[in-house]
Structure 1
């Protein structure tokens, strides 16, 4: 196996090795800069960075007041990216997201339709409480996520790279909401769960936010540099045994097949699909590059597995009755799947 791993590492050029070193240093500066405003949430910052450099989208889950909007806006600020926040409500229409044609007077006295861009035309889009909008509006956003294009009245408009959607869901209030179908949840690479801060962090939050204005963060990267880093992540080598491990881990989540362990069958109604394997590999590549590693390691797959797989498992009533969550199931699968 060591010879196979060495041959994979040799595929990296000297320029790519130096680029990974630069990305690792830039990521450390990014974490330190965000730490001037964001107290705690180190894991959340890492998972957001993994999604960004993997060129994927993420779903944020947490109760109100955990600085989700502040974190995303400050992330865009440090990366010199255009940021828009969309508050999803039951009366939100697709054109409120994508934009629409408006009749305008021209300089020569004529009247013609001109397209006015909606808030989706940004580099980082925060879809706040996405489950409060009806499915038609959700679909307009998800089309842009998948195709990176917007279609309005038969015309296509391309969204500029880098492009990332971060959607939030409130786990407390579910009355009058439209939960995302499983097929649409599958388009998000990661489910990032935010927890309450510790007592020391909560005291620091009170000190930081009840004084003067929050500091303006330094810009650490340009859009062109981010696109270059995203391309670099795709070139990070993956040994064959890592591909095998990722595929076996995902296949063990499917109770319909013969690969699932006996204890999982009564707990899971539907497992993860092939897109989960793709996102496991991409997430592991991104984490490896951010950590300064020149190839994907087993621990990279194991680190991203809970965020990638949890929202792709549909648990049964028996699991809910036993208070076994999808996250618990993924954790046990990671522990039991042979390396």
Structure 2
């Protein structure tokens, strides 16, 4: 028994140290985005996919490249355009064979067959291509000509989109948005952060020469350690109450949720607890507390609730409504 406890303690300590090392490495090459880096690591080590939203030039692609390099994982990039076909990302069949043999058909793997896939400007892909990405994200497989092909494990999708581009885009359907464990907004750096950015990336991107600071075994250990973080029953009940508070209702406790057409799904509850476990581990704790739930509520829920028409016309955002719901929820604890 004591040996098992000691082994678990060592696993937690090693995982925490590896996560902090990875976090510090990324902060050294991605200047002024400490909160974004923390949330990205939380999402990745919770085993989820991430949607990055921000204006062009804020380093979304650079961040994904740096993450893959620091973890020693292979990275594939998909640049979405309206003419991108599903087979361009999943793979296609090609003819093989020489002069001495009959030609045959072989499946050539597409860019989805990588550990980390960067899908740039995902909202420029057509719904048909988006549905192919949806299968990969949910099932960790692609289907071609009726044959299923498993994707490598671990498998992550980091997708980006530009919030100000409307023409020539295809908004992601709710079913696909729900597959992203978090949606992270990339903020514009402050003046001091821009100066520090010039010091590290004026002539070249640091991710081009970034060496791995953890290996595959460390990644697996950290993900396993996160799944072992304890969530007490009162915390689970509090998380359920937070999710239910996003649903429209008549009682005064759900007054803010009147702005919502639909609330968060049970998958959102799972995502909230999974990311809260990783945050606890990243902060050196072996159990989830209320601060973890509060910190993860916005990135987990902002893309999972739908505003009603009146709220959209009044320019009310989900960030505002969720922020108010979390504030009221914390007061009731």
Q: TM-score range by the shorter chain?
A: over 0.9
**Residue matched to 1:124:** 116
The aligned counterpart of 1:6 is none
8 Å CA contact 1:253–1:260 kept in 2: the answer is no
Aligned to 1:231: 224
Contact kept, 8 Å, 2:115 with 2:154, in 1: the verdict is: yes
For the residues of structure 2 that align with 1:293 and 1:160, how far apart are their CA atoms? Answer: 30
2:134·2:176 contact (CA, 8 Å) conserved in 1? yes
Deviations 1:83-115 (A, max 9, x none): 011011000000000001100125853311111
**Residue 40 (structure 1) shift:** 1.3
The equivalent of 2:129 in structure 1 is 137
TM-score (normalised: structure 1): 0.92
1:178 aligns with 2:170: yes
8 Å contact kept, 2:230–2:286: yes
* Number of aligned residues: 328
Matches within 5 A, 1:47-86: 47-86=39-78
Give the deviation of 1:222 after TM superposition. 1.8
For residues 100 and 249 of structure 2, the distance between their equivalents in structure 1, rounded to whole angstroms, comes to: 67
Correspondence for 1:189? 181
Q: Does 1:167 align with 2:146?
A: no
Whether contact under 8 Å (1:34, 1:217) holds in the other structure is no
Give the structure with the higher percent helix.
2
2:50–2:180 CA contact under 8 A, matched in 1? yes
Shift of 1:119: 0.2
Following superposition of structure 1 onto structure 2, how do residues 1-339 of structure 1 map, counting pairs within 5 Å?
Answer: 13-106=5-98, 108-211=100-203, 214=206, 216-255=209-248, 261-265=254-258, 267-337=259-329, 338-339=332-333
CA distance in structure 1 between the aligned counterparts of 2:38 and 2:101, rounded to whole angstroms: 54
**Alpha carbons of structure 1 residues 285 and 176: separation in structure 2 relative to 1, 3 Å:** same
SS class of match (2:284): coil
Q: Check conservation: 1:246, 1:281, Cα contact below 8 A.
A: yes
Preserved contact between residue 91 and residue 108 of structure 2 (Cα < 8 Å): yes
Alignment CA distance shift 1:78-1:263 (3 Å): closer
Contact 2:19/2:222 (<8 A) preserved: no
How far 1:225 moved relative to its partner? 2.5
1:69 counterpart SS class: helix
Cα deviation for residue 22 of structure 1 reads 1.2
Q: 1:17 is paired with a residue of what secondary structure?
A: helix
Distance verdict in 2 for CA 1:24–1:323, change over 3 Å? same
Aligned-partner Cα distance in 2 for 1:61–1:104: 41
Distance 1:90 1:43 in 2: 33
1:155-189: CA deviation from partner (whole Å, max 9, x where unpaired): 11111111100111110111121101112111111
Deviation string 1:40-78 (CA, Å, 9 cap, x unpaired) is 111111111111111111110000001111110110001
Question: 2: distance between equivalents of 1:31 and 1:59?
Answer: 19
Under a length normalisation based on structure 2, what TM-score does the superposition of the two structures give? 0.94
8 Å contact from structure 1 (residues 255, 269) kept in 2 = yes
Partner of 1:311, secondary structure, is coil
1:107–1:156 CA distance, 2 compared to 1 (3 A): farther
Q: Which deviations, in whole Å up to 9, do the C-alpha atoms of 1:102-143 show, x marking residues without a partner? A: 001258533111111100001111111111111110010110
8 A Cα contact 2:141 2:148, kept in partner = yes
